[in-house]
Chains A and B, each alone.
Chain A
Amino acid sequence: MSEHILLRHRDIPNIKDLAVYQAHGGFEAFRKAVTEMQPDEVTDEVKKSGLRGRGGAGFPTGLKWAFMDKRNWPHYVIANGDESEPGTFKDREIMEENPFQFLEGVAIASYAVGAHRAYVYLRGEFWHVAKWLDQKIAEMEAAGLLGDNIFGTDYSLRIYTHLGAGAYICGEETALMESLEGKRGQPRLRPPFPPTYGLYGKPTVINNVETLTNVPMIIANGADWYHTFGTEKSPGVKIFSLSGRVNKPGNYELPLGTTFRELIYEHGGGIIGGKKIKAIMPAGASSSLLPATDEVLDTPMDYESVPKVGGMLGSASVIVLDETVSIAWLVKKTTNFFREESCGKCTPCREGTYWMERLTERIASGQGTPRDVETLYAVAKQIQGKTFCPLGEFSTMAVVTGIERFREDFDAAVKER
């Protein structure tokens, strides 16, 4: 796409400077919302746009905002900038290169739900991003875009950054809130969901960074305009983080519904060394493994189509595996990740990831037996449906689909001894 909607820094140099951002219409959507629209009208427009959460679950954003409990105040908005799913690196580019559009999105969301305080939760590794956003927030305050009496109205808003300290689970919305409250980041039981019971027990909207970055453009141009991109049920654009065995890894902003083939071969420049593609992980380490058949390669990347070929769009972090990669090795990597990142709250995940890691290590190192493969499959299956939060489920996806769809790699690994 020549004109970006989210990665606009690629079209407009120095959009990270406030003056440049404003010269390109920056904060006009926030002004329009605050001075011309009722909060509910803003929510309605976002609802009509069909925008769905870009953090993984794809939940309709406007609907989430409309769920906010109006009998319980204050309300909070949280931007989820934890970005820890292996293979995902889009939110970081947005915040580093187009920070004001993201912050404007936070501000509009806050106005829509009547929040006067918003937090940007960043993974601890984004230490430099936190400093950078603090600086951008200070510039907004100095320009009267945050603080009291914004645009001469009685609306007031303050945005704060909060740094995590290295824990994947804090990307899960309720664990994130625990963390922001100064506790260990362990998930809460849901329901109640955050729009009823969120930060400090108050109604809270939590949205992914990319989700929020769409909002100023939707308010500025209207819901109908947004529908000119993407598919009917998955409107708009998405940033695909492409990584693994491709020639040109990177972020690509494309309409939802673009095929895997176009992303990997046209934008990503194909496979390193002209090798044969073997499998795709469409949603990072939490993904099912999709065999790279023609059917899969021609599948549109949107929320409805990817499940039809046995996967999920998730955060759209597309990791590409070529013929040189053994799936037995790959699941050793993913189970190691989940064992490390399991928060330890529930037994199936805590113990299950430990056993899966031991088994996958043994198998991948050539020390395993065919029995180990059976046991690994059984352990993964036993974890499914029994964990407190989705992380436990995520940990089994590559294992189960790996054994089911790439059995020959496991057979080869346990025969080689």
Chain B
Amino acid sequence: MSSLAEKYPDEVKAILAKYPPEHKRSAVMPLLYLAQRDGGGYITKAAMEDVAQIVGISVSDVAAVVGFYSLYHDKPAGKYRIQVCTDVACALRGADKFVEELCDNLGIKIGETTPDGLVTVEEVKCLAACNHAPVFQVQTPDGLTYHQDMDIKATLELIEQWRKKSS
């Protein structure tokens, strides 16, 4: 097994440098993002062991952190996770209908992944973009992007672009 520290020595070093040396544990969250990127969108048990070792805490402490936060995943899903805000302010501007239509178009239900493994649709809480509903973020192994003031047509076009890029 090649560890994160061996694979990404500079990044691991830069992450650790953000925190006082005696408080290495603070690096858990950024290291988990690195592990998630490395794992193609989710964090394996082995990666958690690796992170635990770097910061010097137990694997169960790392697993507890992974379990607590919604942006860490311990299971694979679609390459692109479309996370639509259906919280109060967006729902007042049609977000529920948007996510329903999107799912219908993709032939999946909320929380499911398209058969080709490209897209998972999820509902999330407020993204601090309530004036731009419908809004979703796309989580990929590499990070997050916001898509604001969206409609179904533009969203399906975006998915089509990803499909071309991935095939």
Contact = CB atoms under 8 A, between A and B. Distances in A.
Interface in A248-281: 249-251, 281
B35 to A, nearest CB: 12
Contacts of B19: 160
Contacts of A341: 125
Contacts of B8: none
A245 interface: yes
Interface residues of B, number: 41
Most buried by B among A89, A168, A341: A89
B125 A184 contact: no
B149 to A, nearest CB: 11
Contact of B23 (A92, A200, A249): A200
A35 B34 CA distance: 41
A182 B20 contact: no
Main secondary structure of the interface of A (DSSP, over half): mixed
A162 B144 contact: no
Interface string B27-68: 111101100000000000000000000010100010011001
B92 A165 contact: no
A333 interface: yes
A167 interface: yes
B31 to A, nearest CB: 9
B131 A241 contact: yes
Contacts of A243: 89, 92-93, 130-131
Given A333-B88, A337-B87, A125 B128 contact: yes
Contacts of A179: 29
A183 interface: yes
Contacts of A181: 23, 25-26
B129 A185 contact: no
Contact of A182 (B25, B126, B128, B143): B25
Contact of B27 (A125, A182, A317): A182
A330 interface: yes
A164 B131 contact: no
A179 to B, nearest CB: 7
Interface in A140-192: 160, 162-168, 179-185
B131 A163 contact: no
B110 to A, nearest CB: 13
A299 interface: no
A319 B88 contact: yes
A124 interface: yes
Contacts of A251: 131
A126 B143 CA distance: 10
B18 interface: yes
Contacts of A284: 88
Interface in A273-332: 281, 284-285, 317, 319, 321, 325, 330
B92 A319 contact: yes
A351 B70 CA distance: 20
Cβ-closest 9 pairs across A and B: A165-B69, A166-B70, A182-B28, A182-B25, A86-B126, A249-B131, A166-B71, A243-B130, A184-B68
Given A89-B131, A319-B92, A321-B92, 15 more contacts: A84-B128, A86-B87, A88-B126, A125-B144, A128-B144, A162-B26, A165-B33, A165-B70, A185-B68, A185-B69, A245-B93, A251-B131, A340-B125, A341-B125, A343-B68
